[in-house]
């Protein structure tokens, strides 16, 4: 088969100068001609390894073929049969390290833009109107889901499509979990997330917000009413550096900073009275996607200097290449081999400068990456806000008040890898509460395993 183009069809984007001052979505999405052309680059391999690289097993080859033929509705149905969140996954999944990494075309040229195509289908549905879905007869069993992040929403969609009554309990005042509070508008607009969640409601999924399971209602009380309970409460407990000065005003965890900006609409201050302090210079420590989201948000909030400091080099960063490239285009500054060791404040208790130490790389540590080694050489840098984006750990509330749940030493729930079953009967879990901070699509993939296990236990049939 001839190859139409060696390079992936370019994604239209907002101009970097324009977008650094607004929270409008950066990637603008494919139109139909671009999508059809890109889908035509698929080689229709006899062994589509790209599908093995997808944690939710999207039928990528079938999707591409149907798009190429202009059969967008059929392509979307094929995707939705396995993925309840195509608009989300098409935007935030690290396709370059999963499905696209396994694309055979990518061995010589650019891989097929699988994520761009999935997003196109979801955007097409929003433009032309929602496609209908036929559901089986309603089963008598009810399922409770705790948490409305990617794992919980995936389990809800899968079980609703199998005919179960599903109710989600969400601690915050809006559903979406980390998709809502952790990912900025310029990567995942809230109206996109709302559309996906509305689709689940149309399947019959009920969502009740402002319910803190472990306080308002216990896990045991849920088990008395529901046939099974799924825990998808995520990893919302921030990690800190444990250095002097972290209690100063203007020092944020990335969780607080992004929650203020996203969930609490701080990006629309003063229309919404939830300020997120950026000042003239914001420094963010870390080099993952959360760090990129934080530093790019700070720039949009008015920071003239938006700076990343990271104790390793660009080779060891965990952020998506696309997000790093967007940050560079927008003017974010990077200081590699640099780590904070102390934070100084002014006489009002506000952060005013950071003491940084230069590092060098040593032998690999447990993560497999080169271990950063202190050099003893320090310097200071002024700043008005400092954001710590070095990771999170699972929400400890439910496990803390439910001793029957076995946990790892670091706080994650211990589950069966294939089924998501916890140490408590009829209780399942997946996502960051099990793995620690991971990707949206990994949480969705593990959620699918748990949904299948719940269905098999209740019906005796494989999902």
Domains and CATH numbers, the chain: 16-128 (1.10.1060.10), 142-236+393-459 (3.50.50.60), 240-390 (3.50.50.60)
pTM passes above 0.85: yes
Interstrand relation of 392-393 and 237-238 (parallel, antiparallel or unpaired): antiparallel
What is the average pLDDT score of the chain?
A: 94
Among 163, 173, 121, 106, which Cα is nearest to 139's? 163
DSSP letters for 266-321: GGGTTTSS------SEEEEE--SHHHHHHHHHHHHTT-SEEEEE-SS-GGG--S-H
| Arithmetic mean of pLDDT, 132-161 | 95
pLDDT digits (tens, 9 = 90+) for 131-141: 988 889 999 99
DSSP letters for 92-127: HS-GGGTTGGG-GGGGTSPPP-HHHHHHHHHHHHHH
| Arithmetic mean of pLDDT, 423-441 | 93
For residue 158, give the DSSP letter: H
Question: What per-residue confidence (pLDDT) applies to 270?
Answer: 67
Other beta carbons within 10 angstroms of residue 68's beta carbon come to 19
Question: What per-residue confidence (pLDDT) applies to 3?
Answer: 60
pLDDT digits (tens, 9 = 90+) for 289-298: 999 999 999 9
| Arithmetic mean of pLDDT, 262-289 | 83
CA dihedral 102, 106, 107, 108 (to 10 degrees): 170
pLDDT greater than 60 at residue 1: no
Question: What per-residue confidence (pLDDT) applies to 236?
Answer: 86
Q: Report the residue count for the chain.
A: 463
pLDDT digits (tens, 9 = 90+) for 105-146: 999 999 999 999 999 999 999 999 999 888 899 999 999 999
When pLDDT is cut at 50, 70 and 90, the band that residue 29 belongs to is: very high
When pLDDT is cut at 50, 70 and 90, the band that residue 38 belongs to is: very high
pLDDT digits (tens, 9 = 90+) for 164-211: 999 999 999 999 999 999 999 999 999 999 999 999 999 999 999 999
For residue 407, give the DSSP letter: B
Interstrand relation of 165-169 and 305-309 (parallel, antiparallel or unpaired): unpaired
Question: What per-residue confidence (pLDDT) applies to 463?
Answer: 66
User: In terms of C-beta distances under 8 Å and separation of at least 24 residues, what long-range contacts does 324-329 make, across chains too?
Assistant: 324/292, 326/16, 326/26, 326/292, 326/296, 327/292, 327/295, 327/296, 329/16
């Amino acid at each position: 088969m001839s190859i139409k183009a060696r390079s992936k069809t370019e994604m239209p984007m907002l101009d970097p100068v324009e977008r650094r001052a607004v929270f409008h979505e950066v990637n603008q999405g494919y139109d139909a001609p671009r999508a059809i052309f890109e889908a035509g680059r698929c080689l229709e391999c006899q062994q589509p390894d790209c599908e093995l690289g997808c944690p939710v097993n999207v039928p990528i080859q079938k999707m591409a073929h149907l798009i190429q033929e202009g059969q967008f509705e059929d392509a979307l149905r094929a995707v939705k049969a396995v993925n309840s969140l195509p608009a989300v996954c098409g935007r935030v999944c690290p396709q370059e390290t999963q499905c696209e990494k396994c694309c055979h075309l990518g061995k010589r040229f650019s891989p097929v833009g699988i994520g761009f195509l999935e997003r196109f289908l979801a955007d097409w549905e929003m433009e032309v109107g929602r496609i209908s879905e036929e559901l089986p007869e309603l089963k008598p069993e009810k399922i409770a889901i705790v948490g409305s992040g990617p794992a919980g929403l995936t389990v809800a969609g899968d079980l609703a499509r199998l005919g179960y009554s599903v109710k989600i309990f969400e601690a915050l005042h809006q559903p979406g979990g980390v998709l809502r509070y952790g990912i900025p508008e310029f990567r995942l607009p809230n109206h996109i997330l709302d559309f996906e969640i509305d689709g689940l409601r149309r399947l019959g999924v009920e969502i009740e917000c402002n319910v803190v399971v472990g306080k308002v209602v216990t896990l045991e009380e849920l088990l008395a009413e529901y046939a099974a309970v799924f825990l998808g409460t995520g990893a919302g407990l921030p990690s800190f550096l444990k250095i002097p000065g972290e209690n100063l005003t203007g020092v944020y965890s990335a969780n607080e900073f992004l929650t203020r900006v996203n969930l609490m609409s701080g990006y629309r201050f003063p229309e919404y009275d939830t300020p997120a302090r950026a000042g003239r210079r914001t420094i963010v420590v870390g080099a993952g996607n959360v760090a990129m989201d934080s530093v790019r948000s700070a720039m949009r909030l008015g920071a003239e200097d938006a700076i990343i400091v990271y104790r390793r080099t660009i080779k060891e960063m965990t952020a998506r290449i696309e997000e790093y490239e967007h940050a560079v285009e927008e003017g974010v500054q990077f200081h590699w081999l640099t780590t904070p060791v102390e934070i100084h404040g002014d006489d009002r208790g506000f952060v005013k400068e950071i003491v940084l130490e230069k590092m060098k790389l040593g032998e690999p540590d447990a993560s497999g990456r080169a271990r950063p080694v202190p050099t003893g050489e320090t310097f200071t840098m002024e700043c008005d806000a400092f954001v710590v984006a070095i990771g999170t750990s699972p929400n400890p509330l439910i496990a803390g008040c439910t001793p029957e749940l076995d946990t790892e030493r670091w706080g994650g729930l211990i589950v069966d890898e294939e089924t998501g079953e916890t140490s408590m009967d009829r209780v399942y879990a997946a996502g960051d509460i099990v793995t620690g901070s991971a990707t949206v699509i990994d949480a969705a993939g593990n959620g699918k395993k748990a949904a299948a296990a719940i269905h098999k236990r209740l019906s005796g049939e494989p999902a």
